[in-house]
Amino acid sequence: MNVKISRPLVECDHLWIAYQQSKSIEIREQLVQHYLGLVRLVAGRLAIGLPQHVDKDDLISNGFFGLLEAIERFDPARGIKFETYAVARIRGSILDAIRAQDWVPVTLRQKAKQYEQAVARLEHKLGRSASDPEIASALNITLSELNGLLHQLNAATVIPLEEFAKSEPVSNQQLNPSHNVETEEVKHTLTKAIEKLSEKERLVITLYYYEGLTLKEISLILKLSEARISQLHTKAVFRLRGSLSRIKSSLI
């Protein structure tokens, strides 16, 4: 995820140096104010895929605790940008709160799993992306029912790949050879899976996860409705999940 902030990073250097030396509450508050925009940015992007009854202010509040934790635990000596480290903590804090609320019904979780497994089996057999009619046939439902299912599943893709590939960086000391092999295998599998997506699905994934655009911004670029972009995102996500789930099960 690319994070853009309006203020130059250099103006915070002296604050980090001072905070590392003193752990002053006053300096910490200045750091919080400086990086508060990250919380709003992450919460805003997550809110797009959530039901309307989920309060964005609640997401921001939960993300705020992630920012505090990031400031407390951040070590500049590791050579990692604070923004990169903080975004992972903020996202994690919000996700933990969402999971605790368990707003996704069990029935929807079951439907999501069935859809994911059906697409994975079908595309593994075909060696390419499956068409909507093929997926509908595999699920023994009509195209209209498939579209309705995809609309329901939009809520299940809030952070779709987070379970398979964590974005938080780790130090070299924490890595071991087996971890490196697994990470590279996951990256290779994900790259291959993305290559098999349709052109529009691949573009949505690239703009959303690599360029950091919102679904609304992508809809304006591609001149498609936000609902259509959301559907393309959902379909792509479950295709990638299916590919990653196979390698994940082999690594457990």
6-52 per-position pLDDT tens digit: 444 445 778 888 888 888 888 888 888 889 888 988 888 777 666 66
The pLDDT of residue 135: 92
Q: Which two tokens stand for residue 122?
A: 């079908």
Distance CA 1, CA 210 (A): 6
Which domains occur in the chain, in start order? 9-101 (1.10.1740.10), 106-251 (1.10.10.10)
Q: Name residue, tokens 């995102």.
A: 233
Q: Which two tokens stand for residue 175?
A: 């890595």
Q: Cβ atoms within 10 A of the Cβ of 198, count?
A: 14
- C-alpha radius of gyration, the chain, whole number: 20
Q: Which two tokens stand for residue 90?
A: 């903020």
The pLDDT of residue 230: 85
131 Cβ contact partners less than 8 Å away, ≥ 6 residues apart: none
Angle between helices 132-139 and 143-153 (to 10 degrees): 90
Q: Name residue, tokens 């990692």.
A: 80
- What average pLDDT does the structure give for the chain? 76
